[in-house]
Chains A and B, each alone.
Chain A
Amino acid sequence: MVGTAIGSAIEGMRPIVEMQFADFSSIALNQILNNAGTHYWRTNVPVPITVRLPSGGTKGSGPFHSQSMESIYAHYPGLIVMTPATVEDAYTMLIEAVAIDDPVVYCEHKYLYYHLKADKLPTEGLPTGRARIAREGRDLTIVSYSAMVHEALAVAEQLAPEGFEIEVVDLRSVKPLDTNTVLASVARTGRLLCVGESFPWGGVTAEVIARVTGEGFHLLDAAPQRINAKDTPIPYHPNLWSAHRPNAKEIVRKARALLRE
């Protein structure tokens, strides 16, 4: 499927490939990473394909229908990786993904299919590569993307009565990663917590922390922290699943610890 999309794109079309689900794009890694991702660099001919990845966990989906693969795609050169968290972004970014001349991996979280609604569709959105301040605050920055933005917002709401003002940054795309918006937020709050749904080894949350510590170590009042899913396959049973992924309880615990430092 991805191979045919690459061929069509070389011949001038703008194909959209929909994976059911993100997990199965592992079968197409070779075409996405080694063919689409290298093509412009090698030949000067861009490959404008959009690969839609229904991503992330929902109750009962189990190990092979729940994965978040943005970190793998972001690791490789030559790809743009979008991770919208809102209906508005899902809409404008998908349109933009198709318009972009380079391959775009568009990670759409399945949880959001069921939980988000909008009355009308926007006519324009923020440009790709720009993060969004989803909630303003001055005590702690939570950097997140995709469905975890909503967990972060819930935590910010929960801690507000205690007098904590938490700023939530929605990355929108993990590649390019808007390091400047994150740094500016950390400059205001001095504290950083990154939340991502993918597995804990490396990945987006680690990358954000590496960049903030490398570029803005002096802005930090406490060691930056991150929360990811557990380092096991994703479980089927809802009780296990909700404990496997980052959840509000865990985010609250880590946020409180950071705020106390």
Chain B
Amino acid sequence: MLQTAQRQSKTKKPKTALPHERFLEAFRWMLLTRTLEEKLVSLYRGGLITGGVYIGKGQEAVSVACGLFLKKGDIFAPLIRDQAGRSAFGERLLDVTRTYLGSRLGPMRGRDGNIHRGRPQENQLAMVSHLGAMISVTVGALMSKRFKGEKGFVGLACIGEGGMQAGAFHEGMNIAAVEQVPLVIVATNNHYAYSTPNDREFACDDLVDRAIGYGFEGYSLDGTDLGACLEVIGGAVKRARAGRPPQLVVASVLRLSGHGEHDDASYVTEEIKREPFARDCLKVAEQAIVDLKLVDAETLAEWRKEAAAKVDEAIATAQKEAPPEGDKEDWCALSTRDLVDDVGTIE
């Protein structure tokens, strides 16, 4: 029998017994992410960012674990609250600031913005907005690697509990299991899809129960506990890499921001803010570092300063760069230039 749909209630509480280095490394990515995103928010408030700003406050522990266990050659399909995972997987800070600030030197060159960015040539898939659509794309990339005879690779795709209710998500999970590709899906239940609360999103008892229905192995976890995130998500990546069936991890957190920075999240109830999953994972991780005396206060302060300096530099660089311009843009949506449709010319 496969070990599937393990409920949180049935699992032992994971100990923070992982190698301290990994915990500290993850914490530093989380810190960098929080610093970066706070800065992006203030730029947005100051009117310096066009379009939306979407942050992962409260989800950094889950997200960082998504990026941290992937190696070069693995496929990563992040979504809107995955800055920590993107950074841990290798995304440059400049890619973020250039995209948000509209530099023409960024990976999207002003053609797409905010979190809709990626470098597919480096296996950072560039999400489309349509939730659920990237699951089957990740499956296809994994199938391709298998066709080519590559070994030991995995793919990891992120989703929210809202996105889990989209048809494309179901199709993606199904094809992943049918094809038995080495895929990990990390679903973060932050208890709201924009303003829609869980009880208007799904009617099942626990989302992880869905794993067995598709032929996935399923695990739940407290997404505010960095140790648990590293253990459970790290374990899922390891199992997928070793040829076990596709893995579904469902993490419980509360979104500690609006859906985007345009949203004041006034619909989030006071009651839910008192739930254990409403803790701030960054604070929880920092407390663990202090309690276990993993590093001293001076080092923590030093890390903060370093993160701020890196963020400031990436922002300053992007701000100095030229924006794209309509009359200089290459308005061509095809790579095969001689097949571009034009209206014709009378000779």
Contact = CB atoms under 8 A, between A and B. Distances in A.
B108 interface: yes
Interface residues of A, number: 48
A6 interface: yes
Interface of B: 75, 107-108, 111-112, 116, 118-121, 125-126, 128-130, 133-145, 147-148, 168, 171-172, 175, 179, 332-336, 338-346
A7 B334 contact: no
A180 B342 CA distance: 10
A121 interface: no
B346 A80 contact: no
A258 interface: no
B143 to A, nearest CB: 6
A138 interface: no
A180 B138 CA distance: 41
Nearest to B175: A4
Contacts of B116: 42
A140 interface: no
Contacts of A39: 120, 126
Contacts of A100: 336, 339
B148 A180 contact: no
A98 interface: no
Contacts of A182: 344
A10 B346 contact: no
A10 B141 contact: yes
A194 B329 CA distance: 34
Contacts of B334: 40, 78, 80, 102
B140 A3 contact: yes
A11 B141 contact: yes
B187 to A, nearest CB: 18
Interface string A15-59: 100000000000000110011011111110110000000000000
Given A35-B133, A176-B341, 19 more contacts: A3-B139, A7-B144, A10-B120, A11-B140, A13-B144, A13-B147, A35-B128, A39-B126, A40-B333, A40-B335, A42-B111, A42-B112, A45-B120, A128-B339, A175-B341, A178-B344, A182-B344, A183-B346, A215-B346
Contacts of A176: 339-342
Interface of A: 1-13, 15, 30-31, 34-35, 37-43, 45-46, 77-78, 80, 100-102, 128-129, 175-180, 182-183, 187, 211, 214-216
Main secondary structure of the interface of A (DSSP, over half): helix
A215 B346 CA distance: 7
A215 B341 contact: no
Nearest to B172: A3
Contact of A43 (B118, B134, B147): B118
List the 8 shortest-distance A-B pairs measured between CB atoms, nearest first.
A7-B140, A179-B344, A3-B136, A4-B140, A11-B144, A7-B141, A176-B341, A7-B137
Contacts of A11: 75, 140-141, 144-145, 148
A37 B335 CA distance: 11
A41 B110 CA distance: 11
Contacts of B336: 46, 80, 100-102
Nearest to B176: A4
Contacts of A3: 133-137, 139-140, 168, 171-172
